[in-house]
Amino acid sequence: MPLEDSVQSQQRARARGGFLRSELSSTANWALLAYAALAVAIGGAFAALWVRADYEQTLEAERGRLRNVTVALQSATLAMLNDGLGDAVAAASEPPTLGNPGRTGGPALAASLQKHLKGGEYVRALFLADGAHFALASRHRLIDSPSTPAWLGAALSAAGGGHWVGAPMPDPENPSRLVIPIARRTSFGNGSVGWAGALFRFEGFDKLFQQFGSSVGALFLTSHDGTVLTVWSRVAQVEHLPGRNIGQTDLFRRALAQGPAGIVEGYSPFARTEMIYAYDLVSDYPLYVATGQARQLILAGWRERRRISIATATAFGVLVLVTTAFLSHYMRALRNRERDYRALFNNAQFTVFLLEGERFVDANRTVVSMFGLPNERAAIGLTPWDLSPEHQPDGQRSEDLARERVATALREGGLTFEWVHRRADTRETFPAEVNISTLSTGDTTLTLGVVHDMTPRKRAEQDLRFLSAELMRLQDEERRRIGRDLHDSTGQSLAALELQLSQLMHASHALSVEAREQLELCARLAKHCSGEIRTASYLLHPPLLDELGLASALRWLADGLRARSTIDVRLDLPSQMDRLPPEEELALFRVAQEALTNVHRHAASPWAQIRLQVRPQYVVLEIEDAGRGIATDPGDPASGGARLGVGLAGMRERIRQLGGVFSVASTAAGTCVRTTIFLASGRPRVRRDEDRYEAGADSHCG
């Protein structure tokens, strides 16, 4: 009972599994569409996040680069300023001083300034001023004046601060060029306080700006109040920018609010485009150094990457949708094919089983009519030996033999064999042909079995065998009758004719020579015809076979072939043997007769040998030759051998009727026809191969 309950539970589980598979297949398309929508959404979100992250990373990298460039320019600017103002302070600390110009004279003071003018070309002139006197010296010009120039008035009136930066002004030596006055409050040699300064022209920045290339869009210096001192820009016209005040622009105010150094972004004060600026205060000087780049140039590479990302995300989405459409189409087609397959599977005229391991997991509807089951689901959970008798006709247990056949099919890829099944309702057995194919996947073995009911074919074969046996029996009787008639009537008439002709020849002395010759010819023809009739009568049914047995008939057959041909017929017959049943002796004689006829007609062999072996359980007859063999391919005219025709087929069928075994072994070196007939005391209990019988040492063929 527990086993039956387990089988029934497995059947119910399989049925539920089939229902669930049907339900799941109907919703698979919706699940696939949901998956496609989710994949597209995830792909789009990922692309958006990546684009945003790349945007922030691009801007941050540009800010860091501009900051580094600005710090480097701030250091270079500070070095220039210290170089020029250091020379001016050194000149202010030496006598004569501005406070005693009368003692030394203005020219001497200017010459002292010119002597200290050692800075680079960016330092155009040095000057000293204390409010009462002013001196300026360039490389080619000296100025000594008791009045202070207007551009220096703001510095002299400044109440506090140690450094002063003026607005751009024309160069005293080259009015077409602008210079920037920058001064430092210092003490003179006589103890008075004034300003020591220099006129700067930052031409070196122009070369540096060109070296940066397109990576820097703008570079400029501005005073603390927003006055533009010098500017280089690739995004705006710069001819009229020096001297312009940008202190009231939103960008400059935000920069002052952030501190002495930082990053500021917005519309450029020089051009209507968004810029990113890095600025830095030059030490204690009221002077800012700033570098910038247009946002659209910074983001040019990002925009290209964004376009590629959007195109990639779009292509991914299209690919997912197209793949989903194809999968949906093919899933629908597979469902339709599965429906058609199930219809064909269930309407087949043969039974199909699917085994997983040793138990059936699926079967078509034909199992109901073939095996007497209530429905096809009743086969699920059963084993092959549950639908078979306990033992097969060869005596082996069905369970052991079934496992062996599945293992063989798994090893060889497939197997076809005969099997005896048993109906579940009537317990009636029936023969079937089984084709199995196996597939091993890990620890699971799947086996597909196709079962064809052989009952109609077996009945037809039995009827055909009975009809064939009856035809052969009638044929043998007809041969016996014809042979007897030829011997008793035609043969006797020819013998009488031969006797009469012989008597005429004794009285032929009165005849002419021509008449006697004609009479002798007629006598010879009558004798020849009598011999032919006698031979034909013996061949149709030799009397020796009925009177003396098979061995004597075979000797007579060999003597006749020797007489009619040049073939050396060798005999290997037992000296004594018991008589066999008449039908068996006749069958063996017909086999030898047909084989020797083939040797005579087709083999072109110099010899033939007849071997007859008698054993307690069987009799073996072998006819061997050294001819050219039998052509197995009827479409090959180059083979040269005899064709496997109706004569050999008739011999095989005659032996099968007696339960014997008939085989032909043929090579280019000769042919051996072998026949085995089992005696009543040695009928084999196991099934034999109808085309081969292994007799061990009893076989002399080959």
pLDDT, tens digit (0-9, with 9 covering 90-100), for 209-222: 777 777 788 888 99
- For residue 629, the model assigns a pLDDT of 82
Question: Which string of DSSP letters, residue by residue, matches 630-654?
Answer: EES-TT-GGG-SEE--HHHHHHHHH
Reply yes or no on whether the pLDDT at 520 is more than 50.
yes
- For residue 505, the model assigns a pLDDT of 77
- 202 vs 475, more confident: 202
How much is the average pLDDT of 368-387?
Answer: 88
- For residue 108, the model assigns a pLDDT of 65
Domains in the chain with CATH codes: 66-298 (3.30.450.20), 348-453 (3.30.450.20), 549-702 (3.30.565.10)
pLDDT, tens digit (0-9, with 9 covering 90-100), for 133-173: 888 888 888 888 878 888 887 776 765 678 889 889 998 88
3-class DSSP state of 605: coil
Reply yes or no on whether the pLDDT at 14 is more than 70.
no
CA dihedral sign of residues 568, 574, 575, 581: negative
User: Residue 672 burial by CB count (10 A; 0-12/13-18/19+): exposed, middle or buried?
Assistant: buried
Percent of the chain residues topping a pLDDT of 70? 83
How much is the average pLDDT of 678-694?
Answer: 48
Confidence band of 681 (pLDDT split at 50, 70, 90): low
Nearest to 657 by CA among 394, 468, 393, 463: 468
Nearest to 559 by CA among 588, 581, 592: 592
- For residue 688, the model assigns a pLDDT of 38
DSSP 8-state code for residue 616? S
Confidence band of 440 (pLDDT split at 50, 70, 90): confident
**Runs of H (alpha helix) within 381-454:** 398-412
> What's the mean pLDDT when you consider all of the chain?
80
Reply yes or no on whether the pLDDT at 102 is more than 70.
no
- For residue 675, the model assigns a pLDDT of 94
- For residue 355, the model assigns a pLDDT of 85
pLDDT, tens digit (0-9, with 9 covering 90-100), for 394-405: 889 988 888 888
Reply yes or no on whether the pLDDT at 689 is more than 60.
no
In whole angstroms, give the CA distance from residue 286 to residue 292: 20
